[in-house]
Every structure is written in structure tokens, then in C-alpha cells.
Structure 1
């Protein structure tokens, strides 16, 4: 059961960072755990989410919501993996849609981490006990390529590349509507939605800088096939950027695509979209420098069957028109 703490910052003493205050005020909570809660939108100041570094000056009302605990150490599970590459330092996998990357409240098992622990016992511990080896994530219902560190040296090297925006990340997506221009750039801060904690928003008062480059690959009645390259990697970045541009991803119920299905005139296409049961987003290409050898490595994956089925139908319908 989730625990809720309502705290008031003392007006006496020096200004204090939010993460320090939360860790000090909630028994049993470390500073790193406090930072994770803040980043997940589980901590609010005066009713709004904030950054861990926010300086509290005194008198603020802070609400902390702590989810129920999960097992401290993930258990290895024999879950099939599509491994694209592996050596003593890294493992590159093609994650299927529906698989969570690491254990968390509500998803303690069946994750990529559980599968990797069973597959290899030498995952890096830098990411935290619940996230061994994880240097980046893709959403549960997004498919595609992901790299995992197998030791601390690899973890640090990969994390540095992601932090410096030096990793090549290319996605394919099906979006509702017609993007009129052939290519473009979307830029704007993304933060936790002020009301709905499960969503991110470009309208949040406090957010992180986010840049997405996009290019149209195909236009069809009611939909556009888009290639996207991430310059930054914020939570739900592509989903938020396209939705707030008026083109939510096909199948993305969280960001407003549900009502667009009924606008599709083709009944067969409507049926294919409803069968998708996830956002039409695939992490197709990942390129990075090997964190130990320095060699550039790039991995490219095919579209999964559910997305490919819709695109094949759209192309066939366009040729028959």
C-alpha cells in the first residue's frame, strides 16, 4: 500500500535542496531513493512537481508518496531474449513491446532485467539494485533496440555518451493526421504533467530541454509514417512532442489517440489499429562507441509484425487507389 507523507518545511535554518529535505524527513529513505521519487513525480511542492535541486526556503508544503516496496534484488527468470550482440562488456537486445525494462512497483517480475539476470550473471551494479546494467530505457509498449552494460566500466562509458547526446537513436512511428512538411525539429522542455502523474507534458512549469528531429517517410489517408531521431532522451519524448503538435501516435491512448480511431473511414484499417493495442513506436536503430574498445557499433532492427502489418496494408491501399 502506498504511503503518503505531508510535510512542512521549517522557516528556521538555511535553504535546503528538496531531495535532501525528503531524505531527511522520511524515515528509511536514502537521498538517491528520494531523487527517484521526485523524478517519478511522486513529490510535490505547493501542489506542483519539482526538481530534486529545488531550494526550499521555509514554509513550503511538501507531499511525498512512497509506493509499496518491491524485492530488493531482482530474480532471474528464463524469459526468451532477442540478443543482437553480446561480449564481456555489453549486451544489445531487441526488446519486444509489452516488456518493462526494469522492476518497479506494479512490475516486480517479467522485466528485461529479470531476463538478463538469468542470461548473464555479470550485469553492472551502478544502475541500482533494481536496475543493474540499465543505462537507458524505452517504454513498456515501445519495441526496439536497447544496450545494457555488463560491468561498471561499460556502464560509466555508455552513460557518458547518453549524457553527452552522442548516441544515435532512430525511431519509426505511425502518427495520426498528415504532417505537411517533409522534415522538421521539435524543441521544448518536457516535465511531469501538473495533474496526471502518469503523463509528461511540454506545458509543465519545470521541465528538461528536449529536441526531436523528424522526417516523413510516407503519407497515407489519416496517417503519416515518421522517422524520428532523438537529440535528447526524455521520458515519453516522442509521444509528447507529436501529440502536442496535433499528431498523436497511433494506438497511444495516454496521449489522445483513442478518439482518432473512429475518424478512420476504412473499417479494415480501424480493425488493424485496434489490434495493435500499443503505441506504434519502434526504436529501430542504435549507434554508439563501444565503452571499452572505442569502436563505433550500430544496430538496426526490422519493424515488429504488428506495425509492419498496418504499414503494408496502407501501402497496398495507396497503390490500389
Structure 2
């Protein structure tokens, strides 16, 4: 049974208008609540019922999930969640925000954005909330020795198998906020050294990223990544200023690994949900030599895990 959490509305000022919170301008809270409401609606509408184990039904007209379905998945009250999407002035507990984040399959950046808009502190900031299911993690492991990774449209690395984790650098050694392919490609020396045709790869990656960003230009997480890259990399600033775009495509990529040598890999992307949801990117060997080298890399990775 779900129970509505206490609905504590902000005290009203003269004339019935909401009194501003201490230390904020009168309009700031309203803008933030409106942004939060729009963000929740956009995340809800991108999730299909099938993704969360719900029947679609013959009479569904709502894109994505219904409000009551999100409330059910998060075990929160329907009225409370509806008020939240209506930008009502209600206090939001971190525990309920955590439940909503999980129900909406938010990734790390989206979760941080949710808590920031709600003006709350994330009780589990170091934990992943990526929507990566146990089944998807099993698929990644079963693809060994082929490198495989799960990414969102912002190129955040959500999950990966052992071979991918050591294909271009030691991903396990990186902080979570740096596990983004754009960030690594423009700033990480070891990652960059592994790419044989670095200049062309950087241009293609930036063009793909710009094409993906068209649907997210107003979202803080995307703007924050661009700002971070702009500050850190003159190369990124130059390429980004050219406004090139390209659609995702499969291709053969060359990597230079310091221990096993050059790898010729064919990349394949499989969407695990409605675009722009996460995608599973796998690399398969083009020739027998690359297959043998991948097997050596996978064996090394397995040894490091067991040590």
C-alpha cells in the first residue's frame, strides 16, 4: 500500500500568494519548481511501460508512463507526485526523491539534477542510479572477450565489462564524474594515446555529441559538460565552434593498446530503450589477430579482478 507523505505547503503571504523561502528572491522558487516539473514530465514520457514491466494496454494515449504508474513504481502517493509535476509549492523529502529517481531510471547526472532542482541533498550521492538492470550487466559479461559498454546519449559510461574497462585506460581507477567518453577523449592522455586516428575521431565524436544535444540544449547536465570541456580543452573549443553534426553509425575503429598491440574493432550500437535512452556499444574483432589480442586482454583483465 502506498501512502501520501506529509504535504507541507509553504506558508502564504498577504493575499494568498506563496511567501518566498528565506534567502531567495520571490520568483526564484517558482522558476525552480517549474523547471523541476518539466524535467519530471520529460523523464516520465521517455519510459515505455515495457521497460518497467507494466502492460501497455489498448487505450494508452499518454507518451511514456502515466503519473499514477510512476507513483506506483516509486511507492509514493499519486496526489503528491501529481502536485510535484504541477509545480505546486510543496516540501520534498530526500527519501521520496530517491524513490522517484529510481522509478524514472535516472542516470547519475539526471539524479543530481533532480536533487538540485528540488533543493535537497542526495542521501546516496556515491551510488549509481543508472537504470542498468542486472540482466544488462549479465549481457555485458557474456560478451567477453569482446569489449562492451552501456552509454547514454550524453556519452556517460553507465556500465562496462572487464575488457572495455581496460581497453583505453583503467576505468575502474577513475572517479565516476570522469567516466564520460567525451571528457576522456579530450582530456585523458592514456585514453587519447590508445586512439590511432585521434584527430578524425575527435571531430566525429564532437559532431555526434552535438547532434544528440539538439534535444537537450536547455538541460543543465548537458550544458555543464560542454562548459567543462570548453574550459579544459582548446582542441574541443576549436572543434565545437565548427558546429558539425553527424548521425550515429557503425564503423571500424583502430586502438593501440600498450600491452597487446593494435586492435581493429567493428563497433555496433544496440538501443536498450527508446531513443535517446541508453545504448549498448560492442566491439567485435575484424581479423583473427585482433581476436587473439582481445582474448589476451580479457585474460589479463580477469587476472587483475581476481588479485
TM-score above 0.5: no
Of structures 1 and 2, the larger Rg is shown by 2
TM-score by length of 1: 0.29
Question: Going by fraction, where is helix more abundant, 1 or 2?
Answer: 2
